[in-house]
């Protein structure tokens, strides 16, 4: 029994000793989904689980619609006013807020795409980048069509008429004659 307990404790110690301490990046948005043209906010929080403090230097955010549009580069945000934001060991940083607006024409979006975030922090004299992604849900723009309501009404009316025609055909087909028709007269 003692040997069993000793081997169990040695295996547990070796498993937990191999666990790597790291920096965690937590991402969230202010809404579960967005529509085209709507504004929102991305929240970025960093947790330091390394031995010793880290200094958050950069937060780079790349949105799914990143590209060259209307003569300028759109869809990328770099937070640079956070230089030397110190986060002690086993402490969570302040939450950084990144505002964004979904483009109205839907460029670069396929009903939802990922926002890519890179956090650059200094630890032990090295600049280390920690990437993280979050899914951005986009609502289907079906209700934005002005012609949708009349089309749905016409489909409803057509469905009711089709059901009535089918009922009439079944009624005529199932109807049995109640009397025998007279036989043709022969001379």
CATH class of 20-139: mainly beta
Give dist(CA 22, CA 50) in Å, integer.
Answer: 5
pLDDT above 60: residue 2: no
Predicted pLDDT at 83: 62
* Domain range summary for the chain, segments of one domain joined by +: 20-139, 144-172
CA 183 to chain centre: 77
Binned at pLDDT 50, 70 and 90, residue 167 comes out as very high
151-162 pLDDT tens trace:
888 899 999 999
Q: Which run of H or of E encompasses 9?
A: helix 2-17
pLDDT per residue over 22-74, tens digit each?
Answer: 899 999 999 998 888 899 999 999 999 988 889 898 999 999 888 888 888 88
Average pLDDT for 128-155: 80
């Amino acid at each position: 029994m003692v040997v069993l307990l000793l081997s169990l404790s040695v295996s547990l110690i070796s498993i937990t000793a191999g666990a790597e301490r790291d920096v965690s990046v937590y991402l969230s948005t202010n809404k579960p989904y967005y529509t085209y043209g709507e504004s929102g906010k991305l929240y970025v929080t960093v947790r330091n689980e390394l031995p010793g403090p880290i200094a958050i230097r950069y937060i780079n955010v790349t949105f799914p619609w990143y590209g060259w549009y209307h003569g300028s580069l759109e869809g990328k945000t770099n937070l640079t006013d956070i230089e030397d934001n110190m986060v002690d060991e086993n402490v969570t940083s302040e939450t950084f807020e990144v505002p964004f607006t979904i483009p109205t024409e839907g460029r670069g979006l396929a009903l939802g795409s990922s926002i890519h975030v890179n956090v650059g922090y200094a630890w032990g004299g090295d600049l280390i980048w920690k990437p993280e992604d979050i899914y951005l849900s986009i609502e289907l723009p079906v209700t934005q069509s002005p012609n949708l309501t009349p089309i749905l009404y016409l489909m409803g009316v057509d469905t009711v008429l089709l059901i009535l025609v089918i009922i009439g055909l079944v009624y005529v087909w199932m109807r049995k004659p109640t009397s025998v028709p007279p036989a043709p007269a022969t001379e």
